[in-house]
Every structure is written in C-alpha cells, then in structure tokens.
Amino acid sequence: MTAEAELRAGIVEVGRRMYARGYTASNDGNISARLEPGRLLMTPKSVCKGFMTPDMLCITDEHGRKLEGDRDPSSEMLMHLEVYRQRPDVQAVVHAHPPIATGFAVAGIPLDRAVLAEVLTTLGSIPIAEYATPSTRELPEAVRRYIKAHDGMLLANHGALTVGGDLFSAYYKMETIEHFAKISLVARLLGRENLIAREEVDRLQGLRGTYGIKAPAPICADPADALALLDAGDPATCQIVQAPAGAGQRLVPDPASGRAGADDGEIRLTYRELSALIEDAVRNLR
C-alpha cells in the first residue's frame, strides 16, 4: 500500500470510529492530514464520517485550493489550514462534536483542572476557544489564540479540536478529551473533586520528558498571570492548569466544591441553624 493509500484508509477508519462512538452525528466533523509538503488530504463536505470510502477524500494545497477529488473539501477547512500554518509539527487535525466535552464547551467550563495524571502528562489542559460562527474566518482566529500551546481544545458552543504528530495520535486525543469530560462530569455530579496538588503537577510535567511526550508548551507557572495575559488578547504560550498548593498532600479537596474543610475561613450553616439565628436576631429587635 502506498503512503497515500494508507493515509486515506486511516482517515476512513478514524471517521468510522468517531461516528460509532457518537462523537459526530449526521455529516458533522472533519479530519485532515499532511500528505507531503503543500498537499493535504481532507474529508469532503456533506458526507457522514461513519460511511466514507477512501476515494471520497480530496487533496488541497496549503491555501485550501482543491488539487484532486470529485467532492469539495470540508466546510471547516479554514480551521485545519490555520492549524497547519501555526504548527509545522502537526501532521493531522481532527474535529468532532463529542457530546459530553461539547456540553462543557456549551457551559463555558474549560477542562483545566488537575484531576487525571495521564491528561496532565499528555494534553495538559483543554481550554475553550471563543465562540465563532462555524465555517467562517472567525473560527480559525479563535483557534489561533490557543493552538501554539495546546494539542486539544473545546470550541465554545460547537465541539472539540485535536491535533497530533500523526493521524491516530490526533484521534486518540479526541478520545482522551471525551473520556476526561465524562469523568469530570461524574465527579461533579457526585459533588466533589479532589485536585492534584501543584507540586505533584510539576512532578508529572517532569515525566513528560522521561516518557518522551512532546507537549507543545509547559504548564503555566502562575495561572493567574497567564489568564491576565490571555484576557489582554495575547495568544497562549503555556497551559493553564487549576491546581492548588498541596502543603505536603498530593491530593487536595477542591475549594470550589464547598467541602474543603473547616479551616478555609468559610462559615456553613444548616437551614435549621440559619433559621434559629434569624429568629434570635428578630427577637432581639423587638
């Protein structure tokens, strides 16, 4: 099999898996890969990714001009082209609408908490690119802000985008994002998340080197500083991860879940205690 035939078969297989896992419905989603310099293999528009055949794919140049194929390239091609422009290391781009991760994207909740070691060592954090009208120039611009520092991101009220050094590594990152979203949702439904402490996050980041994981950017040393720069409109240069200081502990109850312990300076009362206090205060007023 030639390299091109192999890549075509790979894209068809990734499309089939995405559809089978419910990451796309109908004709959603798109996949692309670098074929050789100046030539990109791209899924076509208006085709269900679960039922593609290798001959349906088209070849474009790096500006999106169609070079080969009977069908027109994906309507989200501009987003793919922007990724290849910004990241010469990227060989493949995958876009889908996996429902749990997309739920987080709709809720405006980034997947940036330090809860799973394997996510921290591979993707780091998964930010949300600002809402943009699909298929317009807005979308590549929203993606450009995060793509130099991230291999995966949510797209506000739309879906998720992952990239990789080869086709399957880009696809597996999509699986990781949806799996991470599912676990985060369950933990939040259960009412608490224990976070991995900052010191342990630093240790896990050190493991990236040991395992040869090529992360596009380090985890931000100061998340507040990094957020201020992002808010000022700068592109991300590091990955924001929410991880509290551990003070000797490797797992820390999440302060935001309201179960962080009695010494966090917050006073909590039951409804009965609160009523008694109010009754007492009213009595004293009379």
> With CB under 5 A as the contact rule, which of the stretches 66-74, 158-166, 213-221, 257-265 interacts with Zn ion?
158-166
> With CB under 5 A as the contact rule, which of the stretches 31-39, 138-146, 157-165, 230-238 interacts with Zn ion?
157-165
**Closer Cβ to Zn ion, 97 or 198, answer by number:** 97
**Closer Cβ to Zn ion, 44 or 159, answer by number:** 159
**Which residues does residue 111 pair with via DSSP β-bridges, in sequence order?**
126
**Closer Cβ to Zn ion, 45 or 182, answer by number:** 45
Decide: 120 and 241 in contact? Cβ < 8 Å: yes
How near is the Cβ of 29 to Zn ion at its closest, in Å?
6
**Closer Cβ to Zn ion, 159 or 216, answer by number:** 159
**Closer Cβ to Zn ion, 47 or 187, answer by number:** 47
Output the six-digit token pair for 77. 């091609």
Rounded to 10 degrees, the C-alpha dihedral 188/192/198/199 comes to -130
Contact flags string 34-63 toward Zn ion, x per CB under 5 A: ------------------------------
Q: What is the largest CA-CA distance in the chain?
A: 91
* Number of C-beta neighbours around residue 242 at 10 A: 19
- Residue 96 CA to residue 167 CA, distance in Å, equals 14
Rounded to 10 degrees, the C-alpha dihedral 255/257/263/266 comes to 100
Task: Give how many residues touch Zn ion by CB under 5 A.
Answer: 1
Which positions ≥6 away from 160 have C-beta within 8 Å?
Answer: 95, 96, 97, 98, 101, 102, 105, 126, 152, 153, 154, 174, 177, 178
**Closer Cβ to Zn ion, 97 or 113, answer by number:** 97
Residue with the closest Cβ to Zn ion?
159
98 contributes a contact to Zn ion by CB under 5 A: no
> With CB under 5 A as the contact rule, which of the stretches 106-114, 152-160, 162-170, 266-274 interacts with Zn ion?
152-160
How near is the Cβ of 172 to Zn ion at its closest, in Å?
19
> With CB under 5 A as the contact rule, which of the stretches 45-53, 121-129, 153-161, 217-225 interacts with Zn ion?
153-161
How near is the Cβ of 113 to Zn ion at its closest, in Å?
25
Q: Tokens 């089978």 correspond to what residue?
A: 20
How near is the Cβ of 244 to Zn ion at its closest, in Å?
34
Among candidate residues 178, 156, 27, 150, the one with its CA nearest the CA of residue 93: 150
E strand or H helix that includes residue 230:
helix 223-231
159 contributes a contact to Zn ion by CB under 5 A: yes
The residue ranges that bind Zn ion (CB under 5 A) are 159
